[in-house]
């Protein structure tokens, strides 16, 4: 089975390994190297690194909309193309080339959270369940029929980074199951997505990191979890801008001005919100590193 794989971040690497275990991955497509780190040097994607380690040809076109891109893919004669967090739009002319189409591993229970940031939006919304879907791509945004799906509970304190890692492994399992069926000549049954319950997971933006203390503690705690490890929630606290890495919602704070610190102890800093208290457990001062709330209080007292 000739497989072409397209993916870019670490989330896609387990799926690449799953594809390698089910067929012949004849080429890997990934985003062009991008500037990263303090030196802003060009850095290869994690998928590129994994492909090179496995001795697989890597291709990094800026676009798949050209005649050359179509010709190059057609020459690979793919039975199926697997797409996992690739980051480029696949036009219909590309989707039509593989014998069995292009399959996508998507980190949500479609049709909920179509789009770029399904893991973070699920946490931000307070969802208690999510999962992964293996779907056949069409010209819409995550609108294609679903072959297989698997659901998991979202932990009450689970961060965006932690859930992404879990779903990365689950996505690889679901992909392996689908490719295993295809390898023995059984195309998985495709089920059209429901027309109700559609939501869109818009790309995360840096400005969203700024917390508004007038929101409820529950909503703020969800944002802190969702935005870890990026962009990391930030807020003004006692006149100082801090980044908040870990926090939970607790009762209390009625009648207190939102943003006021109402308690500080080993358990954390309790800050009044529009409803309830946000107990900050781990935070970061400007120019510093992430520390516990207790260490933060001690440092403030020392000055």
Residue entry with tokens 């932690």: 162
Integer CA distances (angstroms), 47 to 28, 36, 294, in order: 8, 16, 40
CA dihedral over 42, 46, 50, 56, signed as positive or negative: negative
- Helix, strand, or coil here: 90? coil
User: What is the Cα–Cα distance from 303 to 301, expressed in whole angstroms?
Assistant: 5
Which tokens go with 138?
Answer: 């069409």
Which tokens go with 173?
Answer: 């399992």
For residue 109, say whether it is annotated as part of any ligand binding site: yes
Closest CA to 160 of 125, 121, 134, 129: 121
For residue 108, say whether it is annotated as part of any ligand binding site: yes
User: What is the Cα–Cα distance from 44 to 46, expressed in whole angstroms?
Assistant: 7
User: What is the Cα–Cα distance from 146 to 149, expressed in whole angstroms?
Assistant: 7
Contact 59, 72 (CB under 8 A): yes
Strand ranges inside 23-163, DSSP E: 24-29, 34-36, 41-43, 58-59, 80-84, 102-106, 114-115, 129-136, 146-153
Closest CA to 296 of 211, 222, 237: 237
Binding-site positions read: 108-111
Annotated binding-site ranges for (6S)-5,6,7,8-tetrahydrofolate: 108-111
């Amino acid at each position: 089975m000739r497989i072409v794989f397209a993916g870019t971040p670490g989330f896609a690497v387990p799926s690449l390994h799953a594809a390698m275990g089910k067929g012949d991955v004849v080429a890997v497509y990934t985003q062009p190297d991008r500037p990263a780190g303090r030196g802003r040097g060009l850095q290869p994607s994690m998928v590129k690194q994994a492909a090179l380690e496995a001795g697989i040809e890597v291709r990094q076109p800026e676009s798949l909309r050209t005649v050359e891109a179509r010709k190059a893919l057609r020459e690979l004669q793919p039975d199926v193309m697997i797409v996992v967090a690739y980051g480029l739009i696949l036009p219909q002319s590309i989707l039509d080339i593989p014998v069995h189409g292009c399959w996508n591993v998507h980190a949500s229970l479609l049709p909920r959270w179509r789009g770029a940031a399904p893991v973070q939006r699920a946490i931000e919304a307070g969802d208690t369940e999510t999962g992964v879907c293996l779907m056949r791509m069409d010209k819409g945004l995550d609108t294609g029929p679903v072959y297989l799906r698997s659901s998991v509970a979202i932990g009450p304190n689970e961060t965006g980074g932690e859930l992404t890692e879990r779903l990365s492994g689950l996505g690889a399992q679901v992909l392996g199951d689908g490719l295993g069926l295809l390898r023995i000549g059984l195309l998985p049954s495709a089920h059209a997505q429901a027309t109700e319950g559609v939501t869109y997971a818009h790309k995360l933006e840096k400005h969203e990191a700024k917390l508004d203390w007038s929101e409820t503690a529950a909503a703020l705690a969800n944002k802190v979890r969702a935005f870890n490890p990026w962009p990391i929630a930030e807020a003004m606290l006692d006149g100082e801008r801090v980044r908040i890495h870990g926090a939970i919602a607790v009762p209390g704070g009625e009648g207190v001005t939102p943003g006021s610190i109402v308690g500080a102890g080993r358990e954390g800093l309790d800050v009044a919100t529009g409803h309830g208290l946000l107990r900050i457990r781990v935070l970061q001062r400007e120019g510093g590193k992430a520390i516990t709330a207790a260490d933060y209080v001690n440092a403030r007292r020392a000055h």
